Amino acid sequence: MDRLDELEARSIYIIREAYSNFDDVAALWSAGKDSTVLAWLCKKAFFGDIPFPMIYIDTGYHFERMYDFRDELADRWDLDLKIAYNKEADEEGVVPDENLKCCNLRKTEALKKVIDEEGFDALFLGIRRDEHGIRAKERYYSPRDDEFEWDYEDQPPEMWGQYKTKKEEEEHIRIHPLLHWTEVDIWRYIKREDLPVNPLYFAEERGGTKKRFRSLGCEPCTTPVESDITSVDGMIKEIKQTEEGERSGRSQDKEKIMQKLRVLGYM
């Protein structure tokens, strides 16, 4: 087995263990590179058909091409897609400039609503430890209380492949099958498996300069980076050479409060 085989096998084991131990599971899918790899691993884990819903949290501020890619791939892969949208954020006039409030209402509260409506007790997420410092504190199976809060200072131990598969009545468990992957691993796996790629990741003329998005989020909070990369091979080479952080194009105000957002239930 090479590294990608090992990464894949461990992730599929985590996915199958969670599916067998929880009653109602779902996966979050943002139409980005990581969550698309997660969706593919879920397909592989269950021989082509994902036996649970995929949740897309729509803030109302995503790029049009994110929506287009989402709809096309959901149809091609026959995903049971559920759209989570919090209309209260519109009613209150909350905009992306209000980083903490906007992320909380448009993302976390939208997720709360769909969990309440559907009764999910476990969620798969495509986060990685190398993506952001606060995510490096995560466990593979991470409990959230009835208020969605995360106690990062008191997490369950994970030894010898044993995870927290029992939850308290009002908890839900977040499962992170990609936690041990890196950004380069993701792109190498996308190349090997010939997975579809959101076109926003590739360079094109933007404001007279070739640019691409390295990380996707809401359009007002995400800026492209200068690049002429138009292939996955080029992506892998560029990432290995750059000193820029993966989320350098995301709103820096939000990045500074990421720990507070995640404690409150942010993805």
Q: Name the residue ranges covered by the structural domains of the chain.
A: 3-182+254-263, 197-251
Contact between 219 and 62 under an 8 Å Cβ cutoff? The reply is yes
| Range with the poorest average pLDDT among 55-59, 61-65, 128-132, 149-153 | 149-153
Give the burial string for 191-201 (b: 16+ CB within 10 Å, else e). Answer: beeebebbebb
Bridge partners (DSSP) of residue 28 are: 55
Helix axes 33-45, 183-193, angle to 10 degrees: 60
Please, which residues have CB within 8 angstroms of residue 157's CB and are 6 or more apart in sequence? none
Q: Is 99 helix (H, G, I), strand (E, B) or coil?
A: helix
The Cα 235–Cα 33 span in angstroms is: 12
Among the ranges given (42-56, 124-138, 197-211), the one the predictor scored with the smallest mean pLDDT = 124-138
Interatomic CA distance for residues 85 and 98, integer angstroms: 18
* Predicted local confidence at residue 29, as pLDDT: 98
Q: How confident is the model at residue 261 (pLDDT cuts 50, 70, 90)?
A: low
Per-residue pLDDT at 208 exceeds 60: yes
Chain-centroid distance, C-alpha 155: 21
pLDDT confidence band for 159 (50 / 70 / 90):
low
Q: What angle do CA 86, 92, 96 make, to 5 degrees?
A: 75
The domain 3-182+254-263 is classified under which CATH number: 2.60.40.1170, 3.40.1160.10, 3.40.50.620, 3.90.550.10?
A: 3.40.50.620
What average pLDDT does the chain have? 86
